[in-house]
Structure 1
Amino acid sequence: MPNPTAAMLVIGNEILSGRTRDANMHHLAGEFTKRGIDLAEVRIVSDESAAIVEALTALKDRYDIVVTSGGIGPTHDDITADCVAEAMGVSIDVRDDARAILAEHYERTGKELNDARLRMARIPDGATLIENPVSAAPGFSIGNVHVMAGVPQVFQAMVASVLPTLTGGAPLLSQSIRVERGEGDIAGPLRELAEEFPDLSFGSYPFHENGIYGAHVVVRGSDGARVDAAVTQLAETFAE
């Protein structure tokens, strides 16, 4: 049985403008790989309602799992929750359990639960909350969509909360070998190897170091013995 497929939707003008470097995709890809979930697509969209709804609608219908990152804070441009509600066809409002979490957190920290902060308690109907042990404000899951914060520390905590609820498959294993030949020289043998091992994927990543041209060839697959066999054959091929 093939592994579940997943997509990630990164939301935020700060990512598209280059002001903020996204670290969440890298973290999610690593966690999903270990879980046996294939992250097949990542999209980045601006803080624009139509763009978020359009992307989310397409992704949730195509993949088993969708994770969003960003846009669930207290400011006016944090519109992800509303967009998710629209895409899922449900209403949204402040929910008592989310409000209680925020009220307890801000009472403990000596801050006011004002209208802006209360925006983070607006949850689409039918969603379940995602725990946020870092800053309290919850994410939420609805259908196959999991809505998380953009702040990396909070995002990672939310991923840890959600992972146990997801059904994974066979973890993806990988090995790499350094080949000190140009890609033009290794392309032919690598193609033949890929045809011999159709259940594996082969990636070639070129480098230029101290006047030496070469490539790191990475072999990936869910069967460790097959990966080992391919890497052994790869090493023998390029040792000649």
Structure 2
Amino acid sequence: MADIMTAAMIVIGDEILSGRTKDRNIGHLADVMTAIGIDLKEVRIVPDEEDEIVAAVNALRARYAYVFTTGGIGPTHDDITADSVAKAFGVPCEYDPASYALLAAHYAGRGLEFNAARKRMARMPRGAVAIDNPVSVAPGFRIGNVHVMAGVPAIFQAMLDNVVPTLETGQKLVSATIHCPFGEGIIGGPLGEIQKAHPETIIGSYPKYLDGSFWTELVVRARSPEALEAARAAVQALVDSLEQPTA
């Protein structure tokens, strides 16, 4: 098992950038990646523009172990993700025979025409491998380290369930949370010194506001339980040493 595996996500769609559609996939992917020991390091949201998709795919697939894309693989003219990913890899985008047959049978079974628009959903870059879609049949695909999936949350989640068993995972992060009754302005300096003294950990500071008072949730993360406990104890000692200001 590798020590650290990394991933990035590309969310594709003008509707996301305009606010017309609210993304629900980023949080789900982050939860799943954290649970299986893959660090989601970056998320980009790009429009339905070929050059932007190509640039994002090429930048992120070179930087991270895995890239996941959502959106733009439907039947309409603005669903250009398959063509764009093919261009990023320098290969043709063409009908996948197995996916074509699967979709043809699906629409025939429903008594619907397998028209040109629906046939578009069987297209993928040459050399890609289909990702099963148990919700609405039309597949996603994987090429290299790039996994291309639907933007509809239920379909994305179902596709991701099929992808996860194929991924190489890393050592999972463990975490501890410390309640701090003070605002960040009080603890910021000494907390930074603790972080420097424990470089193998990640110490997060999350300000909260409730009933007219500020407080802070401190979260320590590490891959080693021993490193986690050492940093957690230092942070707890800092919190215990401070006095609540009277003004």
TM-score (norm 1): 0.96
2:244 alignment partner in structure 1 = none
CA distance in 2, matches of 1:199, 1:211: 36
Report SS of the residue matched to 1:56.
helix
Q: What is the CA distance between 1:126 and its match in structure 2?
A: 0.4
Report SS of the residue matched to 1:40.
strand
CA distance in 2, matches of 1:185, 1:7: 34
1:122 alignment partner in structure 2 = 123
Map 1:186-205 → 2, pairs under 5 A:
186-205=187-206
The amino acid of 2:156's aligned partner reads F
CA distance in 2, matches of 1:178, 1:20: 35
CA distance in 1, matches of 2:170, 2:102: 34
Report SS of the residue matched to 2:43.
strand
The amino acid of 1:6's aligned partner reads A
CA distance in 1, matches of 2:135, 2:111: 16
2:42 alignment partner in structure 1 = 41
Q: What is the CA distance between 1:110 and its match in structure 2?
A: 3.1
The amino acid of 1:203's aligned partner reads G
Report SS of the residue matched to 2:182.
coil
The amino acid of 2:19's aligned partner reads G
* Pair 1:56 & 2:62 matched: no
2:245 alignment partner in structure 1 = none
The amino acid of 1:33's aligned partner reads T
Q: What is the CA distance between 1:46 and its match in structure 2?
A: 0.3
CA distance in 2, matches of 1:178, 1:21: 32
Cα deviation digits, residues 165-200 of structure 1 (max 9, x gap): 111110122222221111111112211211221111
Report SS of the residue matched to 1:220.
strand
Identity of aligned residues (%): 52
Q: What is the CA distance between 1:33 and its match in structure 2?
A: 1.1
Cα deviation digits, residues 97-153 of structure 1 (max 9, x gap): 011111222233332221111100011110000011011000000011110000011
Report SS of the residue matched to 1:68.
strand
2:224 alignment partner in structure 1 = 223
Unaligned runs of 5+ in 1: none
Map 1:47-126 → 2, pairs under 5 A:
47-126=48-127
CA distance in 2, matches of 1:72, 1:203: 37
Report SS of the residue matched to 2:4.
coil
RMSD value, Cα: 1.3
Report SS of the residue matched to 1:10.
strand
Structure 1 runs, 4 residues or longer, greater than 4 Å off: none
Decide whether aligned partners of structure 1 residues 227 and 110 sit closer, same or farther in structure 2, where only a CA change above 3 A counts: farther
Report SS of the residue matched to 1:227.
helix
Cα deviation digits, residues 7-56 of structure 1 (max 9, x gap): 11110001100111111111111111112111111100000111111111
The amino acid of 1:177's aligned partner reads I
Q: What is the CA distance between 1:2 and its match in structure 2?
A: 3.9
Q: Would you say how many aligned residue pairs link Structure 1 and Structure 2?
A: 240
2:183 alignment partner in structure 1 = 182
* Pair 1:171 & 2:181 matched: no
1:31 alignment partner in structure 2 = 32
The amino acid of 1:158's aligned partner reads M
2:238 alignment partner in structure 1 = 237
Unaligned runs of 5+ in 2: 242-247
